A and B are shown apart, each in its own frame.
Chain A
Amino acid sequence: MGLRGLHQPPPREGGLERFDRTERWLHWVNATLVGVLVGTGAVLYWGDLASLVGRRALIKEIHVIAGLSLPIPFLLALPGRRGRALRRDLGALNRFSPDDFRWLRSRGADRSVRLGKFNPGQKLNSAFVAAALLTMLATGSVLKFFSPFPLSWRTGATFVHDWTALALGLAITGHILLAVGDPEALRGMVFGRVPAAWARRKRPRWHDDLTGGDVSAEPVGSATPGP
């Protein structure tokens, strides 16, 4: 339903560049790893599912390898020239404008708010997910390599790993539902570009930053005319 937009040809030329190649690569590699972790984690967590699937040892091995691999895509994507857009967007996720606070106070209902590249919900979600993944990595490592640690650490790590997994699962579900409900935004993460009209409507401040605020201006990226 909401995914129909994906079947249209990608807007290679028109529109505004929202995510560059590195950012999209990082998003989808990380999403794949997290998907594997959620799937294998669910099997390890629910006994009924585990007895259905069997091969618990293999599932556990995959879970551990995927978990320990989590930092690798970030470390590859962040440095140097290729990480410029990513680092710039991390800066944008960090900063909350006065409009963002108004958006939060009105729970997104205040129509006069002019949002930048990300809405405050996305900013909070990214901070939460980043902290949750770090927490899962740390507690998961204690569970995997428990022998040097006191027994109570293992108990604590089990507790935090379980509850954080639950919270993270809810956040990921919300993230996917919102993306499916906004196909143009989703196409932005798949193909890298979004229609200028979408940006003007949903992220006016970001749109104006890119286009210089002129509604009639040609979008960035289509400067070279076709034949």
Chain B
Amino acid sequence: MDGTPVGRRVFLGLAAFGVSGILWGSKAAGFMERLLAPVAAKDGSGILGLLPIGRFRIYSIIGTLPSRATADWHLTVDGLAGAPYTIGWDELLALPSVELTKDFQCVTGWRVLQVKWKGVRLADVIARAAPQAGATAVEIESFDGAYTETLTLEQARRDDVIVAYELEGKPISAAHGGPVRLYVAPMYGYKSLKWLQRITLVAKPEPGYWEQQGYDVDAWIGKSNGRSDEPA
């Protein structure tokens, strides 16, 4: 068969370009986010919203997606606490609420701009349990049965760290960690534990799930995990 072997060259060229993107894609992704995310945010038609920028990606460390009805959901705060307690959905909603609109930055690179959250300050949730003098940190546990996180008490008491139950004005879906999750604005997404069920006051915290796999315990955006993102 005669003719120029163009097909093979196109195939090999495109395949090499695509597969090597595993190596150069993180830089390109950052560039595209900076370039397009501000445009997409102002785009009324929603067409740019279909593009793979500025959108949440759903991760779960267990095989399935945990879900729990609000009626069956409880939060326990215990450990080194003078007044350990367990509350349900209605009691959580009765606590003084705060709203927070900030970027959500994942340590794998994606960022969602100006996400609106509503919830209760983690500081208030912890204070209600009357922490004992020896408590220095909290271990936080998900009802997926596997995910854990930690915060120092100082970090947990920041105003931009909340126990969230609304995302963009709606109840938080199971995929986004509902009914109740953590939102730790100044840190990478893995600190914002999904499917929250337990907060334990401790003196020496066990590192959380990702920290045991080498991620930084103090996950400040732009100042940890070897990344240089803008703070949220």
Contact = CB atoms under 8 A, between A and B. Distances in A.
**A and B co-occur in one complex:** yes
A155 B3 contact: no
Contact of B10 (A45, A95, A128, A166): A128
A156 B22 contact: yes
Nearest to A135: B18
Nearest to A120: B6
Contact of A57 (B18, B22, B65): B65
A134 interface: yes
A160 B110 contact: no
A151 B14 contact: no
B179 to A, nearest CB: 14
Contacts of A138: 18-19, 22
B7 A159 contact: no
Interface in A149-172: 151-160, 162-166
Interface in B43-60: 50-52, 55-58, 60
B1 A91 contact: yes
A57 B63 contact: yes
A151 B175 CA distance: 22
Contacts of B6: 94-96, 123, 127
A50 to B, nearest CB: 6
Interface string A43-69: 011110011000011000100000000
Contact of A50 (B17, B58, B225): B58
B145 interface: no
B52 A159 contact: yes
Contacts of A215: none
Contacts of A126: 7
Contacts, number: 140
B11 to A, nearest CB: 4
B213 interface: yes
A154 B108 contact: yes
A46 B19 CA distance: 24
Given A47-B56, A94-B6, A166-B52, A127 B26 contact: no
A23 to B, nearest CB: 16
A94 B65 contact: no
Given A151-B107, A155-B29, A131 B18 contact: yes
Nearest to B49: A46
B28 interface: yes
Given A47-B56, A57-B65, A158-B25, A94 B8 contact: yes
A102 B55 CA distance: 43
B60 A128 contact: no
A82 B1 CA distance: 20
Contact of A158 (B109, B175, B213): B109
A179 B63 CA distance: 39
A85 to B, nearest CB: 14
B5 A155 contact: no
B51 A166 contact: yes
A163 B24 CA distance: 14
A123 B21 contact: no
A159 B18 contact: no
Contacts of B23: 152-153, 156
A159 B55 contact: no
Interface string A78-109: 00000000000001111111101000000000
A130 interface: yes
A57 B28 contact: no
Interface of B: 1-8, 10-15, 17-19, 21-29, 32, 50-52, 55-58, 60, 63-65, 107-110, 173, 175, 213, 225-226
27 contacts: A46-B50, A47-B55, A51-B173, A56-B58, A95-B6, A95-B7, A96-B6, A97-B3, A127-B8, A128-B11, A130-B11, A134-B18, A139-B18, A139-B19, A139-B21, A153-B22, A155-B108, A156-B28, A157-B25, A158-B25, A158-B29, A158-B110, A159-B21, A160-B18, A160-B21, A160-B22, A160-B25
Task: State the 7 A-B residue pairs at the shortest beta-carbon distance, nearest first.
Answer: A156-B25, A135-B18, A162-B52, A95-B3, A155-B109, A131-B14, A160-B21
